[in-house]
Amino acid sequence: MDDLQPEYLRLKPLKKFWRASHWATTLALSAGLFSVQGASAQQHIPPQRPVAIPHVRSGRAILRQQGRTTILCLTPRNGKVKKVVLTHPSEYPQGMNAPYAASVVAEIPGQLLLFTDTFSSNPGNEQGECGASETGERFLHVVSLTAPARETFSELIESCLLDIEPKAGTPVFDLSTRELRLQFDANKVRPAIQTYHIAADNSVTQ
C-alpha cells in the first residue's frame, strides 16, 4: 500500500527526521565550540609579570605568579634559588591576579624575611566596590630563610573590600624581642592591636 502513496507523502517524514537531526547536530557543535573556547581561555592565561622586592639583603627576591599561586623566588649571592609558596588568607581570594607591589618590613639576612605584597581590589571589576582602589589588598608574610625555606605566617593587613586599615607604621618588628606588632583602626574584622612572637626557629605564635 505504501508503494502507492505519492512521492511527497513518503518524503515528508524523512524531511522531519533530517530537520531534527540537523538541529541536534548544530546544537552539539555549538556546545562543543563553547566548551573548547572556554577551555582555551583557561589554558591561555595571560602571563603575569614578576614583581621584585627591593632592598632584600639576603639575595635577589622576586614574586612570580603560577596560576592561583604566588611564589617567592630568592636567589642568594652564592647559592641556589629558594622557592617559597605564599598564602593569602582572605574572604576575597585574588584568583589569578598577581601582586603589583612588594615591600620589605624587616630582615635578618639569611635567616628571616618579613615583607608585604599588594593586590588590586576586586580584580576584573573596575566598576565594582573598591574596583578603583589604589591601595588594594595588602598581605604580611613571615618567611624563614633557613632550610627548609618556608612561610611561617601570613595575614591580610589592609583591605578596601573588608574595611581593614592599619595604623601608620604598621607592621612593626622589634628585633631585640622578636615581637611583631600590628595596629588597626577600629573595625569588626581585626582587633585594634595584634601582637605576635617570632621564635628562634622562625615559627610565629600569638
Task: Give the domain extent around 79.
Answer: 51-205
Residues 31 and 58 in one domain: no
Residues 35 and 69 in one domain: no
pLDDT for the residue 40: 37
Residues 64 and 140 in one domain: yes
CA distances from 19 to 9, 13, 25, 28, 160 (A): 16, 10, 10, 14, 56
Residues 60 and 147 in one domain: yes
Number of structural domains in the chain:
2
pLDDT for the residue 21: 53
How does the average pLDDT of the chain come out, rounded? Answer: 80
Residues 35 and 104 in one domain: no
Confidence label for 17 from pLDDT (cuts 50, 70 and 90): very low
Residues 33 and 134 in one domain: no
Residues 16 and 84 in one domain: no
pTM: 0.74
Residue 22 or residue 171, greater confidence: 171
Q: Which set of grid coordinates corresponds to residue 136?
A: 588594594
pLDDT at residue 7 is higher than 70: no
Residues 113 and 32 in one domain: no
Bond preceding residue 123 cis, omega within 30 of 0? no
CA distances from 184 to 115, 140, 193 (A): 18, 14, 6
Span 56-69, average pLDDT: 94
Other CB atoms within a 10 A radius of the CB of residue 172 amount to: 14
Residues 162 and 144 in one domain: yes
Segment 100-158, tens digit of pLDDT: 999 999 999 999 999 999 988 765 565 556 755 566 899 999 999 999 999 999 999 99
Residues 190 and 152 in one domain: yes
| Cα R_g (the chain), whole angstroms | 28
Other CB atoms within a 10 A radius of the CB of residue 9 amount to: 9
Segment 24-37, tens digit of pLDDT: 444 444 444 434 34
Residues 200 and 138 in one domain: yes
Residues 29 and 73 in one domain: no
For a pLDDT cut of 70, what percent of the chain falls above it?
Answer: 69
